[in-house]
C-alpha cells in the first residue's frame, strides 16, 4: 500500500516538473543583420570650369580679353597669322557689336570667340537676371557677327559663384574658362616683363591670359610668340585644348623599402689579465 502511494506521488511530481519546464520562455535567436547592398558609385559629373588641362604634348591656349579693339586686335591677328598660331578671344559684347568685321576675320583665320559679358561687370555680385542679360546680349552680338553662338564664357575678373556656374552651364551650355598664366599685362608693366612672366609660368596645357586692348601687350607678343615656339609650345584654341585633355596619371605608390641590415658591433675579445710576475 505504501509502495503504491510512493509511486503515485512520484508520478505527480514528475508531471508538475514537465509542465513547469514547458512554460519556461525559450531564448529567441538574434535576428540576422540585414545584408547591406553594395553602394554603386555615383557617376562623376564632367567638369565645367577649367584653369588648365592635362595634355600629352606641348599644347597651350593663348587667350585675349576685352576686345576687339579697332587697331590693336588686327595687329595681333597679323602676328598670329605670320606664325600660324591660333588663339581664343573673349570679347566684350559692346565691342563685338561695334566691330563685327574683326570677329569675322578672327574666325575666318581659325581663331575662337568666347563670351566675356556685355559691359565687363563683376558677375559674382549680380542677380541671376542681370547676369542673364549680360550674357544673352553678348551671345546675340557674337552670333550676329559670325553666324554661330559661343560655347565658352570667361567671367570678368574671374569672378563667378559655384551656383552661377551650374545654371549658366545648364542654360547657355558654356564651359567656364579661367586661366593659370597671368602676366598682369593690364597693369602695363612693360613688354619685356609681360614676355618674361608668360615664359616663366607657361607649361603644357596652360591657358594664358592677356588683353588685346593695351598697346604694350601687343608689343610684347612678337617676342612672346617666338620664345614660346622656340620652347616647342604650339598654341591652339581653348576648345581644341579641352578636346585633347587626358586624365592625370596617378602618382606611383612608393614600394616598401627593404629593411636595412643593421651592423651589430663585433665582439672584441677582452684582454687577458696580466700574468702576475713573482717578485723575489
At 30 the pLDDT is 47
Query: How many C-beta atoms lie closer than 10 Å to residue 104's C-beta?
Result: 14
At 149 the pLDDT is 98
At 183 the pLDDT is 98
At 39 the pLDDT is 52
Rounded-to-integer distance, Cα 60 and Cα 238, Å: 8
Tell whether 28 is covered by a domain: no
Q: What domain range includes position 96? A: 49-243
What are the CA-CA distances from residue 87 to residues 83, 84, 139, 235, 263 (Å)? 12, 10, 19, 7, 63
Tell whether 88 is covered by a domain: yes
Contact yes or no for 134/171 (Cβ under 8 A):
no
Rounded-to-integer distance, Cα 117 and Cα 12, Å: 101
At 11 the pLDDT is 52
What pTM, to 2 d.p., does this model score?
0.76
Tell whether 43 is covered by a domain: no
pLDDT, tens digit (0-9, with 9 covering 90-100), for 73-122? 999 999 999 999 999 999 999 999 999 999 999 999 999 999 999 999 99
Tell whether 38 is covered by a domain: no
Tell whether 40 is covered by a domain: no
Residue reference for cell 612693360 = 190
Tell whether 31 is covered by a domain: no
Tell whether 276 is covered by a domain: no
What averages of pLDDT result for each successive group of 10 residues across the chain (280 residues)? 51 50 46 53 77 97 98 98 98 98 98 98 98 98 98 98 98 98 98 98 98 98 98 98 91 63 46 39
Q: How many domains is the chain built from? A: 1
At 129 the pLDDT is 98
Tell whether 180 is covered by a domain: yes
CATH code, domain with 180: 3.20.20.370
Residues with active-site annotation: 65, 211
At 230 the pLDDT is 98
At 6 the pLDDT is 47
Amino acid at each position: 500500500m505504501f509502495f503504491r502511494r510512493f509511486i503515485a506521488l512520484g508520478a505527480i511530481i514528475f508531471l508538475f516538473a514537465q509542465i513547469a519546464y514547458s512554460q519556461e520562455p525559450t531564448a529567441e535567436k538574434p535576428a540576422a543583420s540585414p545584408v547591406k547592398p553594395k553602394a554603386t558609385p555615383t557617376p562623376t559629373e564632367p567638369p565645367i570650369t577649367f584653369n588648365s588641362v592635362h595634355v600629352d604634348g606641348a599644347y597651350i591656349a593663348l587667350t585675349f580679353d576685352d576686345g576687339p579693339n579697332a587697331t590693336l586686335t588686327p595687329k595681333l591677328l597679323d602676328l598670329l597669322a605670320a606664325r600660324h598660331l591660333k588663339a581664343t578671344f573673349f570679347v566684350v559684347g559692346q565691342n563685338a557689336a561695334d566691330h563685327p568685321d574683326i570677329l569675322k576675320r578672327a574666325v575666318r583665320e581659325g581663331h575662337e570667340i568666347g563670351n566675356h559679358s556685355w559691359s565687363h561687370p563683376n558677375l559674382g555680385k549680380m542677380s541671376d537676371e542681370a547676369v542673364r542679360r549680360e550674357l544673352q546680349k553678348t551671345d546675340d552680338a557674337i552670333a550676329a557677327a559670325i553666324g554661330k553662338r559661343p560655347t565658352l564664357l570667361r567671367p570678368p575678373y574671374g569672378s563667378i559663384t559655384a551656383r552661377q556656374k551650374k545654371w549658366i552651364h545648364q542654360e547657355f551650355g558654356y564651359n567656364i574658362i579661367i586661366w593659370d598664366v597671368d602676366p598682369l599685362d593690364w597693369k602695363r608693366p612693360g613688354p619685356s616683363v609681360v614676355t618674361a612672366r608668360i615664359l616663366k609660368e607657361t607649361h603644357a596645357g596652360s591657358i594664358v591670359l592677356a588683353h588685346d586692348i593695351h598697346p604694350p601687350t601687343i608689343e610684347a607678343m612678337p617676342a612672346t610668340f617666338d620664345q614660346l615656339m622656340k620652347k616647342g609650345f604650339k598654341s591652339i584654341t581653348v576648345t581644341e585644348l579641352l578636346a585633347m585633355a587626358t586624365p592625370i596619371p596617378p602618382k606611383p605608390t612608393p614600394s616598401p623599402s627593404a629593411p636595412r641590415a643593421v651592423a651589430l658591433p663585433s665582439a672584441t675579445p677582452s684582454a687577458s689579465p696580466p700574468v702576475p710576475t713573482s717578485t723575489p
